[in-house]
Amino acid sequence: MGTSTPKQFSELLGVPILIHTIRAFCQVPAINAIVVVVPAQHRELTCALLAQYQLDGRCTVVIGGKLRQDSVRIGLAQVTDDSSLVAVHDGARPLITPQDIQRCLAAAATTGSAIMAVPVKDTLKAVAPDTAIRHTVEREGLWQAQTPQVVRTGLLKEAFAKADQDGFIGTDEASLLEHGGWPVVVVEGSETNLKITRPDDLRMAEAILMKQQPAQQLRIGHGFDAHRLVTGRALILGGMEIPHELGLLGHSDADVLTHALCDAILGACGCGDIGRHFPDSDPQYKGISSIKLLTHVVGLAAERHFRLVNADITVVAQRPKLAPHFPAMQKILAKACRVEPESINLKASTTEQMGYTGREEGISAHAVVLMASQPA
């Protein structure tokens, strides 16, 4: 895939591939527990994503092994014996449908084991290491295995024990059952249940999802805030303290920049304004960091299935010079907004000593945001 993290964490229409996959299983009533097996170095990221998308209550995250067989064995150890069936699925198959999962479960409940697969439709060639064709493979009766692969829990554990005893390494769960002599039936799947392996697969998955999803909705929001400058207060802008002899007066930290951004996001989502959500009459918000308020606002937007595309913010202040502090502010704001720093544009302007900002009586800020809907 050419990415620095495993493909399961790549985004598909703004949502990680792994999250798409887990959401499909969460829609199947018969699934009562989900075990997510990940590399050790990505456990923390996985837990954070599950919490962000409110899936942590349904999932247990465990650290996998070197081979697929090792990882499935570790995940299988988390499955209690009172679970009649266990389904094994590739995290990088995000387009599996709840209906196909249910069909596979139903087949396995009757036969003991079933896997999703599709008949091979292309002509197959056996090719030598020098890329010369050796011969054409007869494709009659050949199927391409997919996941989920569903097996009675006790049977799959027995198949693993048999493989371990014989030193057998299989490429999937069906191969372990075949090795032990247990029959496996095929449930015909769909070509759209593709496994994301190369960049082209991701583009195909995006095209399929876009056709299935309602048209993406874009919304624009505008926010404005102003606070008075006074002595004895720290000047907080964009989540950081700026050296200055005056600070902004307010119930919270009076961060006008962040307040304007909050209002813009709330406006785009039709959620009112910052005063409605964090009234200055409520003592719990006294002195609170506005970055905490922004994090909450971004969470409200996510609950309504909206994400920030970009923000353009202008701070109006006669003094101090703000441009040197913008890179640090961008990182703070971007983290709270769950975007890259490049998505947060910051600008500063004076009013040429005109008005309350020109007289250094206060500082104001304007923010404009673009929000996009994301799959529910």
User: 127 Cβ partners below 8 Å, 6+ apart?
Assistant: 133, 134
Name the least confident of 99-103, 198-202, 322-326: 198-202
pLDDT on residue 82: 87
What mean pLDDT comes out for the span 348-373? 95
Is the whole-model pTM more than 0.75? Answer: no
What confidence score (pLDDT) does residue 136 get?
A: 94
Whole-number CA gyration radius for the chain: 27
**The two three-digit tokens of residue 296, written as one number:** 């909450």
Q: Hunting for tokens 């593709």 — which residue is that? A: 194
How far is CA 376 from each of CA 223, 261, 276, 319, 326, rounded to the nearest angstrom? 26, 24, 26, 44, 34
Tens of pLDDT, residues 260-306 = 999 999 999 999 999 999 998 999 999 999 999 999 999 999 989 89
Most confident region among 83-87, 216-220, 337-341 by mean pLDDT: 83-87
Say which residue the tokens 């075949």 belong to.
Answer: 178
Domains in the chain (CATH in brackets) are 7-114+150-212 (3.90.550.10), 218-373 (3.30.1330.50)
Q: Is 251 a residue whose pLDDT tops 90? A: yes
283, HSE (Cβ side, Cα atoms, 13 Å): 0
Q: Of 28, 31, 3, 35, nearest to 16 (Cα)?
A: 3
CB 365 within 8 A of CB 294: no
208 residue type, one letter: I
Average model confidence (pLDDT) for the chain? 93
SS3 content of the chain, % helix, strand, coil (to 5): 40, 25, 35
Among positive and negative, which fits the CA dihedral 265, 271, 272, 275?
negative
Position 210 confidence tier, pLDDT thresholds 50, 70, 90: confident
When pLDDT is cut at 50, 70 and 90, the band that residue 374 belongs to is confident
What's the mean pLDDT in 200-207? 90
State the virtual CA torsion across 28, 215, 191, 121 in degrees, nearest 10.
160
Cβ distance 226 to 205 under 8 Å?
Answer: no
Q: What is the pLDDT of residues 226-243, one digit of tens each?
A: 999 999 999 999 999 999
